[in-house]
Structure 1
Amino acid sequence: MQQTVDVIIVGGGVIGCSIAYHLSARGIRVRVLERNRIASEASGAAAGMLAAQAEFIESAPLFEFARHSRAMFPALAADLKERSGIEIGLVQQGLLRIATCEQDVIRYHAQAAIQQQWGEATQWLSAVEAKEMEKALGSDVYGALYLEQDHQVMAPSLTQSYAKAASDLGADICEHTEVYELIREGGKVVGVRTQDGTHYCHHVIIASSIWSQFLLRSIGYDLPLYPVKGECIAVKTNTPLIRKTIYTDDCYIVPKANGELLIGATVTPHTYNRQVTVGGILALMDVAERLIPSIRGAEWSRTWSGLRPKTPHGMPYIGRHPQLDGLMIAAGHYRNGILLSPLTGIVIADLIEEKEPVADLSAFQIPSMRWTKEHQMTGVRS
């Protein structure tokens, strides 16, 4: 079976679906191939924080990319609701980055000064002021940075809305379709093979999170990525405990539009084991209870884990492959795929249309690698 489209996107997470949406909106014929279901991996497990300021303090290129992407969400939420009918659960209450010791106070004052130089709204709150803003906070709070633009969404809903809007615009969304091989003719990737046949195209975009590296090895290319497991908890309360996201280095608590409080996330690198552990949950609950003592009385809802794709330098890979024509990669967004999804989709669409991207991608370059002998580029279809 031979099926030809303009662009094949491997991966039905938030990055792949954002790319599909933005390409489809430009009239480009797209096919998304997802081995499970849309949002079944990291995008379905994410807390959905748009924490451009809380996350990115020291990395100027990523901070600039992140805040540019964050600014798109209010308009994006309205557009996706109109096109797909799905609410993405945008909550615009901001975030409190909590100081839990004197060292945090010093560090956060310095970070506030840096962000104010960038023109970002950043306010330091004393412990008293922080507790006035969120009365459920406990006595361990030394103060907080109030980041009023760091909002949040429902991550699975965002991913599903991208996919539905793309489909309505003409994209093929193919679930339960695993890509097991890239087709290469000389120095160009021209399609993929799946269990249901061969799909040819002009461009292949690899956006399958941590699984991207395994598919790329089918052509002898080893993309530096590794998994970081994150375990999470959701609880419910009869009345809302907090309105804003509570964020520390060890724990975040996110009040969702559906009434849940999401508590996360543990950090376990270099494992594909998805088990939720007693130790991980106890560690999260210990920090969460110190931040918000009344959370002890919340109703237990659910637990889960996700595998986040991280690169050695902490920057995602976004752009064209340096050695193979027709191949693009958008992977390694670690725990910020939700936040970075709008701008990632737009810049990949710009590259497909051979336009100058709206954002600088120089910090996100895909590394060149040595090819194994059996996969050297010979002009013979692999």
Structure 2
Amino acid sequence: MRVPLMTAREVIVVGGGLVGALVAFTLRQAGADVLVLDAGRRGAAWRAAAGLLTPDGEGLTGTALHAEALDSLRRWPALVAALDRASGQPVFYREGVRRQQAGGGEAVTPGEARLHPPSVVRAARAGAEVRRAQVLALHPGPRGVTVVADAGGWTAQTVVLAAGVWSAAFGVTVRPVQGQALLLESPADVGAVYGPPTRGFSRYALSRPDGVYVGATARASWATTPDPHAARWLRGVAGQLVPGVTAPVQTRLVGLRPVTPDGMPLVAPHPGLPGVLVATGHGRHGALLAPATAARVLALVQAGVPA
């Protein structure tokens, strides 16, 4: 397929989800010329994400991700303020996440919070150049990286590959872990609450501007259609965590979380494509870790991606 080449750019971000949009926003705030190419794929993880910013709720204490999670959590308030100033759009950031204890009672970790991922993406994309395009190939060369897409072609000094699980098409070792959640039609303010894990699944419910969110399942799958068995289990979770909320289901959400073999996010130069940075593999922690990832990408771009 012959694709006409378009204007050269400083940075092209492949993937406009929560991680990609915040990477692009951070680069733009630093003065970079950025183009975002997003395929708008069904099953993109951010569309089904809860938006919980909870290292303790996610059981990260003592793990290899804990320090990065705490760093990212500290970065969120300033990033929220920058998004608000730049876009004038709220992201519904709220502090306060309760954790039910197995033996009874609740615990709260100061600074843990929640936000609304679709609103974050909209705010981060506001004012950015975003093209609907599925990237087909990346070709490094002496004058930068040529990006071939179904909607045209571009060149860039640096490409940031933030396409979630679809980054696997470009030689990144990442696999999908499907997560399902429910969004209930309820104006009730239930705050945000974690229940003790059941059969390895995290259980949580939180109020968002679009309803009460209840999650979440996890299984290795590329499927992007809801499973009725998962919906029934999630209804049971809702009854356990917020027993007074009996609202009907507004939406059944399905997202494909990108997971690396060691479970650690991959934010580094691509091992085989000079001029390409990779920012994916965040699993279920994309919203929590996105600020630290964006800061790391900015540092790598400013330092110059190894050729």
What's the TM-score once normalised by structure 2's chain length? Answer: 0.89
Give the 3 Å change call, closer, same or farther, for CA 208–354 of structure 1 in structure 2: same
* Higher relative strand content: 2
C-alpha distance in 1 between matches for 2:153 and 2:63 = 41
Give the 3 Å change call, closer, same or farther, for CA 67–184 of structure 1 in structure 2: same
* Higher relative helix content: 1
Q: Which amino acid aligns with 1:65?
A: E
Contact persistence 1:91–1:256 (CA under 8 A): no
Would you say 1:84 and 2:87 are equivalent positions? yes
What's 2:134 paired with?
178
Contact persistence 1:251–1:288 (CA under 8 A): no
What's 2:287 paired with?
338
Q: Which amino acid aligns with 1:263?
A: V
Q: How does 1:46-195 map to 2 (within 5 A)?
A: 46-55=49-58, 56-60=60-64, 62-96=65-99, 98-100=100-102, 127=104, 130=105, 144-164=106-126, 167=127, 171-174=128-131, 176-185=132-141, 190-195=145-150
Q: Which amino acid aligns with 2:117?
A: A
Q: Deviation per CA, 1:186-226, whole angstroms, max 9, x where unpaired?
A: 8x962211123321111111000000111x1xxxx3x2211
Would you say 1:352 and 2:301 are equivalent positions? yes
Would you say 1:248 and 2:210 are equivalent positions? no
Query: Residue 288 of structure 1: CA displacement?
Result: 3.0
Give the 3 Å change call, closer, same or farther, for CA 323–245 of structure 1 in structure 2: same
Q: Deviation per CA, 1:46-77, whole angstroms, max 9, x where unpaired?
A: 000001222212313x1111111111222222
Would you say 1:20 and 2:24 are equivalent positions? yes
Q: Which amino acid aligns with 1:206?
A: L
C-alpha distance in 1 between matches for 2:144 and 2:299 = 19
Query: Residue 40 of structure 1: CA displacement?
Result: 7.3
Question: Residue 32 of structure 1 aligns to a residue in which SS?
Answer: strand
Q: Which amino acid aligns with 2:204?
A: I
Would you say 1:279 and 2:229 are equivalent positions? yes
Would you say 1:328 and 2:284 are equivalent positions? no
What's 1:114 paired with?
none
Which structure's CA Rg is the greater one?
Answer: 1
C-alpha distance in 2 between matches for 1:201 and 1:65 = 29
C-alpha distance in 2 between matches for 1:231 and 1:91 = 23
Query: Residue 259 of structure 1: CA displacement?
Result: 6.3
Contact persistence 1:251–1:287 (CA under 8 A): no
Alignment RMSD, CA only? 2.2
Contact persistence 1:5–1:201 (CA under 8 A): yes
Give the 3 Å change call, closer, same or farther, for CA 65–274 of structure 1 in structure 2: same
> Sequence identity of aligned pairs in percent?
27
Query: Residue 148 of structure 1: CA displacement?
Result: 3.1
C-alpha distance in 1 between matches for 2:272 and 2:173 = 16
Question: Residue 39 of structure 2 aligns to a residue in which SS?
Answer: coil
1:264 to 215, 219, 227: 215
Give the 3 Å change call, closer, same or farther, for CA 237–177 of structure 1 in structure 2: closer
Q: Which amino acid aligns with 1:11?
A: G
C-alpha distance in 1 between matches for 2:157 and 2:240 = 54
C-alpha distance in 2 between matches for 1:239 and 1:204 = 43
The number of residue pairs the alignment matches comes to 296
Question: Residue 113 of structure 2 aligns to a residue in which SS?
Answer: coil
Q: Which amino acid aligns with 2:130?
A: I
C-alpha distance in 2 between matches for 1:285 and 1:248 = 16
C-alpha distance in 2 between matches for 1:304 and 1:94 = 22
User: What stretches of structure 1 of length at least 5 have no aligned partner?
Assistant: 106-126, 131-143, 356-382
Query: Residue 322 of structure 1: CA displacement?
Result: 3.5
Q: Deviation per CA, 1:237-272, whole angstroms, max 9, x where unpaired?
A: 4543x3232243234333224262110111111x11
